């Protein structure tokens, strides 16, 4: 199901239902348990932010190019592929409110299903890409995504990054795919070269801020609304931006708490309280700065209701509570 948030943009909502249907039809598998899980993930829909933003950018020119449906399905296939692999690495039990592939079918099946989804991405890309240069761009973005994932997995759990390392990681693992999606929306709707570049900047900055908000919500979010435990990243030894800023001011107390946080819920809670007071405000400022950069990129597009709606959507996404 396409999320309700898109219903306020009927043209985009309709296109997303077509994207979802195309992706479902192209991902049928002969192994029943794997097929069931893949189809369940597609049906759950997630936020469909990347393909949704692609269509929001395309609305400035021509949103009716059929290649946009294939491009949107390709982007969602690529995103699902990375999630399938992430779930194996994180030993995640649920995704989008349903059981993960690795939980129901095992790690090997989940990895191969992720590889299959990568092949679907390339198949759909072949339908959507207007030229070889666009295929090359997609390949370079994939390179950045994988480098971001490798950078993250190269860091042992419980190790503090520098802020620069954190920003480089999320630029690859999250922001690059957002940038690709919004760029494709501009390109396939025949926007100018200047607008294509602005669309990529917009998507990349939205992706940076989006990941930062995710990381902030791990500390500040309501677990009932988030549908996952609070401080899960911290418990797993993943130190994101709020923790990194809090550690800059640490007198040793936070480091000592973090050393045993995975085993001791009380120490985990106390670490979270310290991070909320010492690290969250600065992380919020950085996320707000990327949000403003994203909004500034929209100056390249014509003023009017479509730009206003995109600004409003961007602000709503980056003020979310789950």
Q: What is the pLDDT of residues 92-115, one digit of tens each?
A: 888 877 888 899 989 999 999 999
Domain boundary residue, one of 128, 155, 190: 128
Rounded Cα distance between 293 and 306, Å, is 18
| 134 domain residue, yes or no | no
pTM of this structure:
0.94
- The pair of three-digit structure tokens given for residue 158, joined into one six-digit string: 């419980």
At CA 174, angle to CA 269 and CA 214, rounded to 5?
Answer: 25
In this predicted structure, what is the pLDDT of residue 133? Answer: 85
How confident is the model over 123-136, as a mean pLDDT? 90
Q: What is the pLDDT of residues 211-223, one digit of tens each?
A: 999 999 999 987 7
Residue 29: CB atoms within 10 Å: 16
* 51 lies in the same domain as 152: no
Q: How many domains, the chain?
A: 2
* 205 lies in the same domain as 293: yes
| 135 domain residue, yes or no | no
Q: What are phi and psi of 94, to 5 degrees?
A: -135, 155
Q: What is the pLDDT of residues 234-255, one digit of tens each?
A: 888 889 999 999 999 999 999 9
| 20 domain residue, yes or no | yes
Q: Residue 226 — very low, low, confident or very high, per pLDDT cuts 50/70/90?
A: low
Domain boundary residue, one of 100, 128, 156: 128
Q: Are 37 and 101 in contact (CB under 8 A)?
A: yes
In this predicted structure, what is the pLDDT of residue 66? Answer: 94
Domain boundary residue, one of 94, 128, 162: 128
- The pair of three-digit structure tokens given for residue 228, joined into one six-digit string: 């996952």
Query: What's the chain's Rg over C-alpha atoms?
Result: 20
Cβ neighbours for 257, distance < 8 A, ≥ 6 positions apart: 267, 268, 270, 271, 274
């Amino acid at each position: 199901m396409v999320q309700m948030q898109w219903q306020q943009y009927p043209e985009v909502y309709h296109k997303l239902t077509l994207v979802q249907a195309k992706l479902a039809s192209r991902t049928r598998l002969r192994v029943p348990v794997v097929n069931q899980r893949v189809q369940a993930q597609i049906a759950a829909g997630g936020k469909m932010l990347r393909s949704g933003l692609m269509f929001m950018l395309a609305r400035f020119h021509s949103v009716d190019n059929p290649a946009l449906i294939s491009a949107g399905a390709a982007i969602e296939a690529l995103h699902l592929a990375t999630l399938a692999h992430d779930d194996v690495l994180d030993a995640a039990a649920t995704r989008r409110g349903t059981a993960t592939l690795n939980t129901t079918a095992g790690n090997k099946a989940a990895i191969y299903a992720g590889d299959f989804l990568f092949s679907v991405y390339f198949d759909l890309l072949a339908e959507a890409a207007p030229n070889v240069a666009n295929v090359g761009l997609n390949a370079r973005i994939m390179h950045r995504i994988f480098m971001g994932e490798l950078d993250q997995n190269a860091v042992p759990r419980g190790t503090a990054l520098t802020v620069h390392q954190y920003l480089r990681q999320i630029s690859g693992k999250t922001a690059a795919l957002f940038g690709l999606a919004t760029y494709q929306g501009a390109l396939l709707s025949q926007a100018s070269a200047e607008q294509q570049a602005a669309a990529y900047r917009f998507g990349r900055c939205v992706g940076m801020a989006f990941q930062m908000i995710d990381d902030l919500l791990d500390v500040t979010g309501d677990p009932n609304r988030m549908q996952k435990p609070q401080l899960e990243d911290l418990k797993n030894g993943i130190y994101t931006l709020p923790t990194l800023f809090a550690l800059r001011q640490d007198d040793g107390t936070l480091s000592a708490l973090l050393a045993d946080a995975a085993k001791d819920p009380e120490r985990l809670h106390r670490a979270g309280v310290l991070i909320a007071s010492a690290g969250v405000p600065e992380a919020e400022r950085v996320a707000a700065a990327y949000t403003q950069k994203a909004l500034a990129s929209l100056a390249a597009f014509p003023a009017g209701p479509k730009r206003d709606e995109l600004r409003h959507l961007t602000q709503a996404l980056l003020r979310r509570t789950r």
